[in-house]
Structure 1
Amino acid sequence: MSHLRPDLFPVDPFTPDPAVQSVRAPRLPLHRRLLAVFRLWRDRARTRHALGEIDARSLRDAGIAPAQAAFEASQPFWRRPGSLR
Structure 2
Amino acid sequence: MSHLRRDLFPVDPFSDDPTFQSVSLPRLPLHRRLLAKLRLWRERARTRKALAQVDERSLRDAGIAPAQAAFEANQPFWRRLGRLR
TM-score (norm. length: structure 1): 0.71
Match in the other structure for 1:67: 67
Q: Deviations over 1:29-75 (max 9, x none)?
A: 00000000000000000000000000000000000000000000000
Structure 1 CA distance for aligned equivalents of residues 46 and 54 of structure 2: 13
TM-score (norm. length: structure 2): 0.71
Match in the other structure for 1:35: 35
Matching residue's letter, 1:66:
P
Matching residue's letter, 2:36:
A
Match in the other structure for 2:81: 81
Q: How high is the sequence identity, in percent, across the aligned residues?
A: 79
Matching residue's letter, 2:62:
A
Give the 5 Å matches for 1:11-30: 24-30=24-30
Matching residue's letter, 1:35:
L
Q: Deviations over 1:7-33 (max 9, x none)?
A: xxxxxxxxxxxxxxxxx4431000000
Structure 1 moving runs of 4+ over 3 Å: none
Match in the other structure for 1:19: none
Structure 2 CA distance for aligned equivalents of residues 36 and 75 of structure 1: 20
Gaps of 5+ in 1: 1-23
Gaps of 5+ in 2: 1-23
SS in 1 for 2:78: coil
